[in-house]
Structure 1
Amino acid sequence: MTSRALLLVGVVLTAHKFLCTAYVGGDGFSVEFIHRDSVKSPYRDPSLTAPARVLEAARRSTSRAAALSRAYARADASSADGAVSELTSRPFEYMMAVNVGTPPTRMLAIADTGSDLIWLNCSNGAGAPASCADSKCRYLYSYGDGSQSTSGLLSTETFTFADDQGTRGDRAMRVANVSFGCSTTMIGSFIGDGLVGLGGGDLSLVNQLGADTSLGRRFSYCLVPYSINASSVLNFGPRAAVTEPGAATTPLIPSEVKTYYTVDLRSVKIGNKTFAAPQEYPVIVDSGSTLTYLANELVDPLVKELTQRVKLPPAKSPEELLPLCFDVSGVGEGQVAAMIPDVALELGSGGGATVTLKSENTFVVVHEGTLCLAVVALQFPPVSIIGNIAQQNMHVGYDLDKGTVTFAPADCARSSGSLYI
């Protein structure tokens, strides 16, 4: 997908009506990062309790982990017939607003650190322009199980990031000639108005912003815990710098799939106990996965150590999905948090970054009164994942120019509250 298609004329973009904001300044811009179960999401199921939503997210996470693993197996797949990309179906967790065209049309799209291509649902009753009718302008985004696909034209448009509620004047950032797939045909069930790829590949939004603006190739997010009714925040440009106290930076390492943000996990620590990871152990940092997936060599001793340290009665794991659960009926939330020891991830070689996971990063309530470990044994080698529960209340910044990812503890609800109340 190296060529840029001609600008489509007369394309009508379909969109949901929703309230989202963006703030733009000389230091970059920020947009809402909306969890699919947020009260602001049109895809929230109001019939589910909060624990039930977490359990559903855990189920989606298992499907996503399998999909990421299949993508490794298909890393060398390619096609000479136009722009073709075969992918695996990936459940998602977060969405963002995009404003496309002139005048801008607002759309709510999946925001995915595990994908690159931006594609949006388009409607073009006149068919493809004659100037863009050959196969080089067409794309096919085919999912590996064959049940889902999107196809259309590789196009360019102006993307606008602005403060749409007028609280900060008329400042806006317009980025011309953003390449995206204008989807005219979709097979299967898709949620949202499209997908914004935030991965490491050339066509991702972060790479295109770096190529077409002075913002650089960097972005960050701060994920609000599931239990808090507030939006998370997604930052681009200088604003993505992670400068909070306790920030830990580690190099990104090469991956079989360029899209994925991969780091080297050296060990897992609880107190004075250290459990070494297998040699040269790559782990994907993925906002789209709920759970964290690690090798049995790490999960088994972790479960054993936590079982000994946490003085709570055991509980049955729902659907045997999670490896360790406790009965917390009648125990206050603050009391539970005080009973769970910190878990430290040591990343990078030569004593690199240490990321400390608090109780909210390692355990979740999946049934009323049932608290379970959100770290599970790797089911789909060779892909290990640091999921979004482990990243809650952290400012996580990706700098593709420097080739690093940085983690810092943060109060994400407070950090985003000035933007999204």
Structure 2
Amino acid sequence: MPATMTSRVLLLVGVVLTAHKFLCTAYVGGDGFSVEFIHRDSVKSPYRDPSLTAPARVLEAARRSTSRAAALSRSYDRADAPSADGAVSELTSRPFEYMMAVNVGTPPTRMLAIADTGSDLIWLNCSNGAGAPGLAAARHARAPAPAPAPAPPPGVQFNSSNSTTFGLVSCGSGACRALPEASCADSKCGYLYSYGDGSQSTSGLLSTETFTFADDQGNRGDRAMRVANVNFGCSTTMIGSFIGDGLVGLGGGDLSLVNQLGADTSLGRRFSYCLVHYSINASSVLNFGPRAAVTEPGASTTPLIPSEMKTYYTVDLRSVKIGNKTFAAPQQYPVIVDSGSTLTYLANELVDPLVKELTRRVKLPPAKSPEELLPLCFDVSGVGEGQVAAMIPDVTLELGGGAAVTLKSENTFVVLHEGTLCLAVVALQFPPVSIIGNIAQQNMHVGYDLDKGTVTFAPADCASARSSGSVYI
């Protein structure tokens, strides 16, 4: 074989990653890729309410967090319960905090979707599929009845008939079997997701498509990463109101983006994010593949532990420590690491002594909690931000495997009202779910490695790291 032909063959072998069990093929650089992780209250978000003050936005996020914690708890309760209808996967509507842009199809359609570490399935708003065999029929076959007339979904819709790379998934495929529940329509894999009390639902057919991710590398230039044959739900019927153009599941289940990117490819099943402080009008960053490695000084790694829900990233919390005071967690105490929850939820056995110790140590006048959402508040009117931070002691979460995650004042307290600083750690209201929320994860590089079964935390200045590109190394 001529040398030039040999080189070309080797190049193809090295770059084209052949289909895995879900037929996902990636064309990607050796170090992975990164995308913007956009908070819903960011200036880049179409859902930002400009009339709200910064504390009012945090208060709204705290309200959403309470609803999400209740939803996660109901998911646990229903984890082993059979569905009343074999065609329905009953989920609970979960408020979200972060979004990411995906470009779907050939030529690509840009869509802004919810990015959710508490979900697996990728689903996007689709048009009625007049030009795609099976989709139009599925729109009528899968619509829940009785129900009000479907409202057109807001935002962007993906028209599959305009794409040359769109495909439908058969009932007998591994991807269809990976759905919690599935149905057949003309031998194609259908689904109906019903949210909450049934007033919200989305349905359609499980499909495949090429996804293109605009690589966000700070000052290192722009690239695009294409992934062919990604399994996603092409939703053709929407009942109720939904925010965003769809949802990208980043959970631990087989159909999540993380697993589809990583199975049988050089990327590995790993991702990370670095969340900027909520007061900064800048996007965070979401990394995939080797670029998701957390190598900053002070990195601490804890093993993932088995959970009733494969979707959730669950770790073992051993104790909470302030100074020389250590408060032991209940035996075998699992907590979910969740970017979609704002607050942190722990058992009363941890929150009560934490509140008592902070009350003793923090020399600030007490204040009433807005709407009584949070357990401890201080009056900081007239006190400089730097002075306040110096008065708040560090809180350390001691996790399984000897990991220790130090929470600074910005990770434990938030301003919920002008001049009112409150503890962003709440006593568990919805057993059995405890959660480490995104306030506790601000200015940390948090990496999830499903291949190794670990979560790693490292302190980082996420706004500066994003500008310099250092998080990507």
TM-score, normalising length: structure 2: 0.80
The yes-or-no answer on 1:407 pairing with 2:457 is yes
SS in 1 for 2:183: helix
In the TM superposition, residue 219 of structure 1 has moved relative to its aligned partner by 0.2
Q: 2:26, 2:228 within 8 Å by CA — same for their partners in 1?
A: no
Q: 1:277, 1:298 within 8 Å by CA — same for their partners in 2?
A: yes
SS in 2 for 1:402: coil
Q: 1:148, 1:189 within 8 Å by CA — same for their partners in 2?
A: yes
Deviations 1:271-304 (A, max 9, x none): 0000000000000000000000000000000000
SS in 2 for 1:167: helix
In the TM superposition, residue 212 of structure 1 has moved relative to its aligned partner by 5.5
Q: 1:24, 1:171 within 8 Å by CA — same for their partners in 2?
A: no
Aligned to 1:385: 435
Deviations 1:239-298 (A, max 9, x none): 000000000000000111110000000000000000000000000000000000000000
Structure 1 CA distance, aligned partners of 2:470 and 2:445?
A: 16
Q: 1:242, 1:406 within 8 Å by CA — same for their partners in 2?
A: yes
Structure 2 CA distance, aligned partners of 1:19 and 1:136?
A: 16
Change in CA separation of 1:296 and 1:365 when aligned onto 2, cut-off 3 Å? same
Structure 2 CA distance, aligned partners of 1:310 and 1:36?
A: 32
SS in 2 for 1:99: strand
Q: 1:218, 1:398 within 8 Å by CA — same for their partners in 2?
A: yes
Change in CA separation of 1:13 and 1:280 when aligned onto 2, cut-off 3 Å? closer
Change in CA separation of 1:335 and 1:217 when aligned onto 2, cut-off 3 Å? same
In the TM superposition, residue 132 of structure 1 has moved relative to its aligned partner by 8.4
Structure 1 CA distance, aligned partners of 2:238 and 2:10?
A: 22
SS in 2 for 1:69: helix
SS in 1 for 2:432: coil
In the TM superposition, residue 2 of structure 1 has moved relative to its aligned partner by 38
Structure 2 CA distance, aligned partners of 1:239 and 1:385?
A: 26
The yes-or-no answer on 1:243 pairing with 2:247 is no
In the TM superposition, residue 134 of structure 1 has moved relative to its aligned partner by 2.6
SS in 2 for 1:13: coil
Q: Give the count of matched residue pairs.
A: 417
Change in CA separation of 1:26 and 1:14 when aligned onto 2, cut-off 3 Å? closer
Change in CA separation of 1:61 and 1:411 when aligned onto 2, cut-off 3 Å? same
In the TM superposition, residue 140 of structure 1 has moved relative to its aligned partner by 1.0
In the TM superposition, residue 141 of structure 1 has moved relative to its aligned partner by 1.4
In the TM superposition, residue 73 of structure 1 has moved relative to its aligned partner by 0.7
Deviations 1:61-86 (A, max 9, x none): 00000000000011024459766421
Structure 2 CA distance, aligned partners of 1:21 and 1:37?
A: 34
Q: 2:362, 2:391 within 8 Å by CA — same for their partners in 1?
A: yes
In the TM superposition, residue 172 of structure 1 has moved relative to its aligned partner by 2.4
Structure 2 CA distance, aligned partners of 1:105 and 1:2?
A: 36
Change in CA separation of 1:243 and 1:164 when aligned onto 2, cut-off 3 Å? closer
Q: 1:268, 1:346 within 8 Å by CA — same for their partners in 2?
A: yes
Q: 1:94, 1:288 within 8 Å by CA — same for their partners in 2?
A: yes
SS in 2 for 1:371: strand
Change in CA separation of 1:34 and 1:113 when aligned onto 2, cut-off 3 Å? same
The aligned runs of 1:74-223 (5 Å cut-off) are: 74-79=78-83, 84-126=88-130, 133-134=185-186, 136-163=188-215, 171-211=223-263, 213-223=265-275
Deviations 1:14-41 (A, max 9, x none): 9999999999742000000000000000
Structure 2 CA distance, aligned partners of 1:310 and 1:375?
A: 16
In the TM superposition, residue 11 of structure 1 has moved relative to its aligned partner by 29
Deviations 1:337-361 (A, max 9, x none): 00000000000xx761000000000
Q: 2:344, 2:425 within 8 Å by CA — same for their partners in 1?
A: yes
Q: 2:268, 2:289 within 8 Å by CA — same for their partners in 1?
A: yes
In the TM superposition, residue 323 of structure 1 has moved relative to its aligned partner by 0.2
- The structure that is helix-richer by fraction is 2
Structure 1 CA distance, aligned partners of 2:453 and 2:232?
A: 25
User: Quick one: which of 367, 374, 377 aligns to 2:424?
Assistant: 374
Change in CA separation of 1:77 and 1:21 when aligned onto 2, cut-off 3 Å? closer
Q: 1:20, 1:97 within 8 Å by CA — same for their partners in 2?
A: no
Deviations 1:75-131 (A, max 9, x none): 02445976642111100000000111011111000000000000000003417xx99
In the TM superposition, residue 3 of structure 1 has moved relative to its aligned partner by 36
Structure 2 CA distance, aligned partners of 1:269 and 1:286?
A: 21
TM-score, normalising length: structure 1: 0.89
Change in CA separation of 1:417 and 1:72 when aligned onto 2, cut-off 3 Å? same
Structure 2 CA distance, aligned partners of 1:149 and 1:5?
A: 48
Deviations 1:186-243 (A, max 9, x none): 1111000000000000000000001253200000000001011111000000000000
Change in CA separation of 1:8 and 1:406 when aligned onto 2, cut-off 3 Å? closer
Structure 2's unaligned 5+ residue stretches are 132-181
Structure 2 CA distance, aligned partners of 1:87 and 1:279?
A: 30
Between 220-229 and 74-83, report the one with greater CA deviation: 74-83
SS in 2 for 1:64: helix
In the TM superposition, residue 137 of structure 1 has moved relative to its aligned partner by 1.6
Structure 1 CA distance, aligned partners of 2:11 and 2:307?
A: 33
Change in CA separation of 1:125 and 1:4 when aligned onto 2, cut-off 3 Å? farther
